[in-house]
Amino acid sequence: MLQRPRRNRRTEALRAMVREIEVTTKDFIYPMFLVDGNGIKNEVKSMPGNFRWSLDLLLEEIEECIALGINSYVLFPAVEEDLKNSTATYSYSDDNFYLKAARTIKERFPQVCLMSDVALDPYSSDGHDGLVQDGIILNDETLPILGKMAVAQAKAGFDIIGPSDMMDGRIEYIREQLDANGYKNIAIMSYTAKYASAFYGPFRDALDSAPKAGDKKTYQMDPANKTEALRELELDEAEGADFVMVKPALAYLDIIHLLKENTNLPVAAYNVSGECAMLHAAAQNGWLDYEKAMSEMLLSIKRAGADVILTYFAKDYAKLIQKQK
């Protein structure tokens, strides 16, 4: 044989020389769950190693993560039921602990990149991402609330606004509101292809934000659809998105690749809670090597085309890299 691909695999030095993809901490946005109060660090049972943090302890955790090379974070609030209502007014209230936390984090660590979450479900008594009337999600009536939420988050210091709600037209509406209020330089990362997935369960446990009735299939994408993601991509580009995202990641690697091949915008992928939970479960049962499987999982997401990976494995992977040095 004249051609033997195995020659380039013979030693680690050779393999490293021709390695095409490498995952680093610069690729990550680390999702974190925030609660109001002090001295709180409660592990999410379905997501080992992930916690609900009060701000005082979250600041310590972020400092530790920065030392590991993680500089970008997305915050999700776990809101008490008595602060929720049908119109999610607490989402843009000056008293919102989530907004106060963002200000404090940016004051303490001005170098970090903070991403927000824009959707009604953490603040809605109905548990849906939009306004609900007679069991129907009201798309257009939801947009003004999303706009107020986004402006309040930009004012609080978030660097990237993250609309996860999947309402039609929300990127343009939010962009217009941000621009009109002096936040022209604040980026929007759109959840462009967010599927109605079975892999979100542990996240909803973490935030107690599951719908009180019905499901999200009328606004999140059908897992069977592929070309529809291109339609969502075209709309988001036209409406002013700065990043586009695919969620979940592992079961949608083809969609990540599809978007990467059809846009010049950075493509993000959300390695979601269920993907995290199933690896932990398999590792705890001795079925998989946690570190090796985690690394391969993240590599597959980047190889598919993701420029940015939102992952609960960020800290563990950063520790692994440090250990290997």
pLDDT at 206 over 80: no
The pLDDT tens digits of the residues spanning 140-158 come to: 999 999 999 999 999 999 9
Please give the domain boundaries of the chain with CATH numbers for all domains: 21-244 (3.20.20.70)
- By CB neighbour count within 10 A (0-12 exposed, 13-18 middle, 19+ buried), where does 32 fall? buried
Q: What is the pLDDT of residue 127?
A: 85
Long-range contacts of residues 316-324, Cβ cutoff 8 Å, at least 24 apart: 316/49, 316/290, 316/291, 317/23, 317/25, 317/28, 318/25, 318/28, 318/65, 318/68, 318/69, 318/70, 319/68, 320/291, 320/294, 320/295, 321/24, 321/25, 321/69, 322/68
Question: In this structure, which amino acid lies at residue 159?
Answer: D
Catalytic annotation, pick one of 84, 148, 216, 247:
247
pLDDT at 279 over 80: yes
Mean pLDDT of the region 30-37: 97
Catalytic annotation, pick one of 84, 194, 216, 260:
194
Q: What is the pLDDT of residue 207?
A: 67
Q: What is the pTM of this model?
A: 0.95
Confidence of residue 211 (pLDDT cuts 50, 70, 90): confident
- Transcribe 40-57 into DSSP letters: -EEE-TTSTT-EEEEHHH
- Using alpha carbons, list the distances in angstroms from residue 175 to 180, 198, 206: 8, 30, 29
Query: What are the residues facing 118 on neighbouring strands?
Result: 163
Structure tokens at 85: 């209502």
pLDDT at 228 over 70: yes
Structure tokens at 239: 């409406």
Confidence of residue 259 (pLDDT cuts 50, 70, 90): very high
Q: What is the pLDDT of residue 272?
A: 96
Residues in the chain: 325
Contact 50, 6 (CB under 8 A): no
At 316, give phi and psi (nearest 5°): -60, -40
Considering the chain, what percentage of its residues have pLDDT values greater than 90?
Answer: 90
Mean pLDDT rounded to a whole number for the chain: 95
Please compute Rg for the chain using Cα positions.
20
The pLDDT tens digits of the residues spanning 290-300 come to: 999 999 999 99
Confidence of residue 324 (pLDDT cuts 50, 70, 90): confident
From CA 146, how far away is CA 129, in angstroms rounded? 10
Q: What is the pLDDT of residue 46?
A: 86
Q: What is the pLDDT of residue 276?
A: 94
Mean pLDDT of the region 51-57: 97
pLDDT at 55 over 70: yes
Q: Which of 110-119, 211-220, 273-282, 315-324 has the lowest mean pLDDT?
A: 211-220
Packed helices 97-108 and 139-156: angle between N→C axes, nearest 10 degrees? 30
From CA 178, how far away is CA 154, in angstroms rounded? 8
Say which DSSP state 222 is in.
Answer: P
pLDDT at 209 over 70: no
Mean pLDDT of the region 228-254: 98
pLDDT at 82 over 70: yes
Catalytic residue flag (residue 194):
yes
Considering the chain, what percentage of its residues have pLDDT values greater than 70?
Answer: 98
pLDDT at 22 over 80: yes
Mean pLDDT of the region 86-114: 97
Catalytic residue flag (residue 247):
yes
pLDDT at 260 over 90: yes
